[in-house]
Amino acid sequence: MQNNQLMTILQEAKEQLNKASSVGETEELRVKILGKKGKLTEILRSMGSMSPEERKEFGKMANSVRSEIESLLDEKFTEMKERQKAAKFKEERIDVTEPGIKISLGSKHPITITIDEISKVFMSMGYSIAEGPEVETVFNNFDALNAGKNHPSRDLSDTFYITDDTLLRTQTSPVQVRTLMKQKPPIKVISPGRCFRCDTPDATHSPMFHQVEGLLVDEGVTMADLKGTLDSFAKKMFGSKTKTKFRPHHFPFTEPSAEMDVSCFKCGGAGCRVCKGSGWIEILGCGMVHPNVLKVGNVDTEKYTGFAFGMGVERIAMLKYEVDDIRLFYENDMRFIKQFK
Amino acid sequence: MLVPINWLKEYTKIDVSVDEFCDKMIMSGSNIETAQYFGDGIEKVVVGKVLSIEKHPDADKLVITKIQISNKEEESIQIVTGAKNLFVGAYVPVALHGSKLPGGKSIKKGKLRGIESNGMLCSAGELGFDDKVIPVAHKDGIWILDKEYKLGQDIVDALELKNAVVDFEITPNRPDCLSMIGMARETAATLNGELKYPDTKCEKEEGSAEDYISVEIKNSELCRRYVARVVTDVKIEQSPWWLQKRLIYAGMRPINNIVDITNYVMLEYGQPIHAFDIRNVEDNKIIVDTAEEGEIFTTLDGSERKLTKDMLLIKDGKKGVALAGVMGGLNSEIQEDTGSILIEAANFNGDSIRATSKKLALRTEASSRYEKGIDPNLCETAADRVCKLIEILGAGKAAKGKVDVYPNKIDKHTVSVRVNRVNSVLGINLNVKQMEEIFKSLEMEVLQDGDILKVTPPTIRQDLEEEIDFIEEIARIYGYDKMPVTIPRGNAEAAKSKERSLKDLARDSMVAMGANEVQTYSFVSPKGVDNVRIDEDSWERNFVKLINPLGEENSVMRTILTPNMMEVLGRNYSRNIPSVRAFEIGNTFFKSLDEQQPLPEEYDSMVIAAYGESESFYTLKGMVEELLEKLGIHGATYESESEYGVYHPGRCARIIYKDYELGIMGEIHPDVTEKYGIGVRAYCCELAFDNVMKNSNTERFYSPLPKYPSMTRDIALIVEEEITVAQIENIIKEEGKKLLESVALFDVYRGKPINEGMKSVAFTLVYRSPDKTLTEEEVTKVHNNVLAALKDKINAVLRDM
């Protein structure tokens, strides 16, 4: 009879589990059947009054029913939990097209970015960075750089003076003079920094601007080395397909002197707005260091030769980023600076 | 310098296209600004002749003309014009119906005040010439042609208007190139051509120059040479078109034959020429001397000029007649009726001319050439050339000989050039013969002496003095583009300096915290420090001043970065940018206290600033703290400051580390934000970045992760308003001793139920031992000591949590 009761319990459990529709209901069922006062537990209590043989058989059957109910309960629990999760996911669904919560990085100034890029290329070629003061001596800025006493750049209309002997440097080349006076060859430096000239600000002029100049002095340095170095710089800076062209020019502190053009990095040389249709863009001035300049640092000009180069950072930044007004660099409108993030 | 290609062809062959010519000249060192083409865009403009001129019945300012435009008089056309310089028989350019003029203008027939007009008579301007070069003779009217041309002929053909003009950029080391012959020399070397010099020998000469004039140089340092020639029977008239045209294309206005010839020769040789009316040269004497101090002299532009005693003045026996090398005198100007003239070709000291022209603010073609330096050996040839052209034009008769005072003749000099040196500087491998050829192509004499070339350049090349100058000549004529491309030895990567690394680190950190970098001018207005309320006698006013600033707003070097930053904030605020976080790293400048030291002191400074809804003193302080941490400065303290004018007196702190003041920060004083038009609260910090760098330590050492668990106690204390968080933290740290791992503020509360004048401050204390798991009793013991000390020292009451 008890056996029948066991089968009934199993049968009922199956039916009720089928009806259960949540984790809670399933748990209630578990307590009702398997709990301390559960039906199955109660029946098992009656085992004491059975003969040993009966008990053995009944026990066997009861265990089998119990384990079947347990596995049914497990199944039901798993099913119910999955259903619960699915409901939760459905409820928590979001609109992934809404914008992200803003975390803003700032941006370095485009001039800094350009100087960093130029510096990185030259550092990879072994140039260390030398810096010098913005207020310089007339000697370091002009005399030592072989600029004639009457050179027009010395005029009050071109150069800002502090006293008769001191001025705001018009180029970063005085840093090269300082280096030559301080250090024995081999010398390999670049000097980025601010420069000043008496230009009233307009779209293409700024009384303050930045330059990066470079100097290499060593035994056996040739003009071919100058070409190779700057050609390699141009390829690293403006892309590996960049071509370079060296045109003769004149600077007091180098001889022979040259200007370097690069093939337009916007159109590749076909001619466009940036290169004004010529396919070439003038990027820098350079040349072999004039012996008079080397002598300032007591360099043996028979043993050592060298080259120097200099470029305007604003110009390169304007060309690269297609900025059409130099004044934008110094207005510091956040909407401008953020674009270089 | 404007060089008409057709003029250049007079001296050397140019058998390449203009484009190719330009490319080759650029590559051999003559840089080109532009190449312009004249005579383009003109269609159906022909030579016409004025047959009659009648008054317009209905307009006072107009006339009705009959213009013959073919060999048949009866085929003439009627044109109405407003020109005043017309006369019957004049040859003029006629734009016919349907013609086109430069600039895209087209001419159609129509009626002017009711009278039919079948075209337009043209001025030189309408045919594309710049106002400033149109010949004086017809500068305000219709172009009256210089002679008879075939009627009906296309004007472009008749006047040979088609011409390319190349504008060369002449560098200051090459004044010899400021002339047609100079550019022809470069052209010949570039294109492998020959150079042909112009004819300077007159066929017929009458009388002798010495009978008319004597010359004395009183100051041979300022006047190296003076050549005078004399021309008699002068007839002043218009120059022929061929000569006018060359001047026009070279950028000069034709005036009359004598003036035009002096200008022509100046352009041809680069030697300024002056012509005097000999009637006005008293005592038949030319004396080159300096002026009297304060002497008044009227130049031929009619201006009275006050001279100084260092200015060179050309005098006759009684008075000044020309401001040497700058401008002639009004008293000896060539007139319509001038009969005999004196031609001056002289060499004046460039520095002296520069000084004179600068003092008088009078710069002329002549003065700017003297300033750059001229070869004194040119004088004679140039004077002869003037006479020859006068003869060619039939403008007068040259007297024989010349007066030539040349105290210290400039001779050619020879420089040794080592073949090996040339090759080793340039990285090429030319042989002796190739180098010799290059030098010879530039009219230099060359003697070979083993491995050495003895090179003698013409005296016109004053720039060639040392071996390196000759190496440059080889380089540019051989061609930069033919030199190989090599990489110098030793290309190991270089390391950044510590300072540069730290600045980069600071920039990167600020950017990561959402700040944008700005760059502002190093020179500022001295008012900036007023605007940010800096005290009257403080160090920030120890300015380095500019002698020649662009304006007051750029007249001193900045001593602090804050005023510029306030301008940046103000500008952005005015442009409706709701929030800003910005920083700048830059130099500041102070007059050196050491009088022996000519240069000012320069320091690195850094400014960080912000405004906007989510900004506060503490967001800025958070950035500053994080920045200093990143730079390896741990434990900087913030001391309340209420005196510094820039900031809100209750919201300002000095940042102290060890014995250094690293900077100052705070909420900007409302008067300052108002001054800069910043309509919201703004926050700013200026760091003495030199001090920051001095104390920076970016080395990192690992400390082991804790092995034993920590125990956390949160406390809320009620203290008087005046008690600072720093004070409380210091007490906690002192009492917590070794077991206290950290203390962190997590809340400050004011208001009910806390009494007025008091505040509640809450901290999390973390206790941990590196050696063992702490027991409840151990922590409680220490924690109670902490609470007791707080009670004892600052009367802090523990609040129920």
Domain boundaries, chain B: 2-38+164-191, 43-161, 209-405, 415-478, 498-695, 711-799
Contact present, A205 and A199 (Cβ < 8 Å): yes
Candidates 1.20.1440.60, 3.40.50.10880, 3.40.190.10, 3.50.40.10; CATH matching B209-405? 3.50.40.10
- The string of pLDDT tens digits covering residues B519-578 is 999 999 999 999 999 999 999 999 999 999 999 999 999 999 999 999 999 999 999 999
Residue of B301, B280, B287 whose CA lies nearest to B228? B287
Q: Which residue has the higher pLDDT, A14 or A339?
A: A339
Contact A224 B486 (CB under 8 A): yes
Alpha carbons B770 and B740: distance in angstroms, whole number: 11
**CATH number of the structural domain B498-695:** 3.30.930.10
Half-sphere exposure in the Cβ direction for B45 (13 Å, CA): 30
- Confidence grade of residue B491 (pLDDT, cut at 50, 70, 90): low
Query: Cβ contacts (< 8 Å) between A255 and chain B: which residues?
Result: 468-469, 471-472
Q: What is the mean pLDDT of residues B471-476?
A: 97
Min CA distance, B743 vs chain A (Å)?
Answer: 28
pLDDT of residue B720: 94
- Confidence grade of residue A171 (pLDDT, cut at 50, 70, 90): very high
Residue of B541, B514, B699, B705 whose CA lies nearest to B614? B514
Residue B794: pLDDT over 70:
yes
- The string of pLDDT tens digits covering residues B752-790 is 889 999 999 999 999 999 899 999 999 999 999 999 999
pLDDT of residue B71: 87
Contact B488 A221 (CB under 8 A): yes
Query: Cβ contacts (< 8 Å) between A327 and chain B: which residues?
Result: none
Q: What is the mean pLDDT of residues B304-332?
A: 94
Helix (H, G, I), strand (E, B) or coil at B552: helix
The two tokens of residue B638 are: 């913030």
Residue B593: pLDDT over 90:
no
Helix (H, G, I), strand (E, B) or coil at B687: strand
pLDDT of residue B443: 94
Q: Please, what CATH class does the domain formed by B43-161 belong to?
A: mainly beta
Surface of B (159-198) touching A: CB under 8 A: 171-174
Residues 6+ apart with CB under 8 A from B464: B415, B457, B470, B473
Residue B594: pLDDT over 70:
yes
Alpha carbons B323 and B604: distance in angstroms, whole number: 53
pTM above the 0.80 mark?
Answer: yes
Closest-approach residue (CA) in chain B for A127: B494
Alpha carbons B387 and B202: distance in angstroms, whole number: 7
User: By the CB < 8 Å criterion, does B481 face chain A?
Assistant: yes
pLDDT of residue A96: 87
Residue A276: pLDDT over 90:
no
Contact B548 A108 (CB under 8 A): no
Residue B635, sorted as left (phi over 0), alpha (psi -120 to 50) or beta, turns out to be left
- Residue B549 one-letter amino acid: P
**CATH number of the structural domain B711-799:** 3.30.70.380
- The string of pLDDT tens digits covering residues B127-137 is 989 989 999 88
Q: What is the mean pLDDT of residues A175-181?
A: 95
Q: Please, what CATH class does the domain formed by B415-478 belong to?
A: alpha beta
| Residue B403 CB neighbours (<10 A) | 20
Residue B54: pLDDT over 70:
yes
Contact B544 A332 (CB under 8 A): no
Query: Cβ contacts (< 8 Å) between A160 and chain B: which residues?
Result: 523, 546-549
- The string of pLDDT tens digits covering residues A112-163 is 999 999 999 999 999 999 999 999 999 999 999 999 888 888 999 999 999 9
Decide: residue B66, CB within 10 A, 0-12 exposed, 13-18 middle, 19+ buried: middle
Contact B519 A125 (CB under 8 A): no
Is beta strand B797-799 parallel, antiparallel or unpaired with respect to B711-720? antiparallel
pLDDT of residue B556: 97
Q: Which of A134, A222, A247 is nearest residue B486 as measured by Cβ atoms?
A: A222
Residue of A327, A282, A162, A172 whose CA lies nearest to B169? A282
Extract the runs of DSSP E, i.e. beta strands, from B264-402: 274-277, 285-290, 296-298, 304-306, 312-315, 320-323, 327-328, 341-348, 397-398
Query: Cβ contacts (< 8 Å) between B583 and chain A: which residues?
Result: 106
Query: Cβ contacts (< 8 Å) between B487 and chain A: which residues?
Result: 225, 228-229, 232
How do the residues of chain A divide into helix, strand and coil, expressed in percent and rounded to 5? 45, 20, 35
Contact present, B463 and A256 (Cβ < 8 Å): no
- Confidence grade of residue B685 (pLDDT, cut at 50, 70, 90): very high
Alpha carbons B388 and B396: distance in angstroms, whole number: 10
pLDDT of residue A20: 84
pLDDT of residue B271: 97
- Confidence grade of residue B367 (pLDDT, cut at 50, 70, 90): very high
Contact present, B496 and A123 (Cβ < 8 Å): yes
User: By the CB < 8 Å criterion, does A327 face chain B?
Assistant: no
Helix axes A23-34, A52-91, angle to 10 degrees: 170
Residue A31: pLDDT over 90:
no
- The string of pLDDT tens digits covering residues A140-154 is 999 999 998 888 889
Closest-approach residue (CA) in chain B for A107: B516
Residue of B6, B13, B90, B27 whose CA lies nearest to B475? B27
User: By the CB < 8 Å criterion, does B472 face chain A?
Assistant: yes
Contact pairs from chain A to chain B, CB under 8 Å: 236
Decide: residue B451, CB within 10 A, 0-12 exposed, 13-18 middle, 19+ buried: exposed
- Confidence grade of residue B496 (pLDDT, cut at 50, 70, 90): confident
pLDDT of residue A9: 84
- Confidence grade of residue A2 (pLDDT, cut at 50, 70, 90): low
B722 phi and psi, to 5 degrees?
-70, -20
Residue of B178, B217, B171, B222 whose CA lies nearest to B350? B222
Residue B678: pLDDT over 70:
yes
Among A202, A222, A301, pick the best mutation site for testing chain B contact (most B Cβ within 10 A): A222
Same CATH fold assignment for domains B209-405 and B498-695 = no
pLDDT of residue B485: 94
Percentage of chain B lying above the pLDDT 70 cut: 100
User: Is-cis flag, bond preceding B753, omega within 30?
Assistant: yes
Query: Cβ contacts (< 8 Å) between B486 and chain A: which residues?
Result: 222, 224-225, 227-228
Closest-approach residue (CA) in chain A for B351: A150
Q: What is the mean pLDDT of residues B416-443?
A: 96
Residue of B673, B372, B686, B381 whose CA lies nearest to B558? B686
Alpha carbons A118 and A193: distance in angstroms, whole number: 12
Q: What is the mean pLDDT of residues A48-69?
A: 83
| Average pLDDT in chain B | 94
- Confidence grade of residue A326 (pLDDT, cut at 50, 70, 90): very high
Surface of A (108-167) touching B: CB under 8 A: 108-109, 111-112, 116, 123-129, 131, 133-137, 148, 150-152, 156-157, 160-163, 165-166
Decide: residue B766, CB within 10 A, 0-12 exposed, 13-18 middle, 19+ buried: middle
The two tokens of residue B112 are: 């002017």
Residue A1: pLDDT over 70:
no
Which fold is adopted by the domain B2-38+164-191? Answer: Phenylalanyl-tRNA Synthetase; Chain B, domain 1 (3.30.56)
Closest-approach residue (CA) in chain B for A200: B550
pLDDT of residue B88: 93
ipTM of the complex in this document:
0.86
pLDDT of residue B766: 96
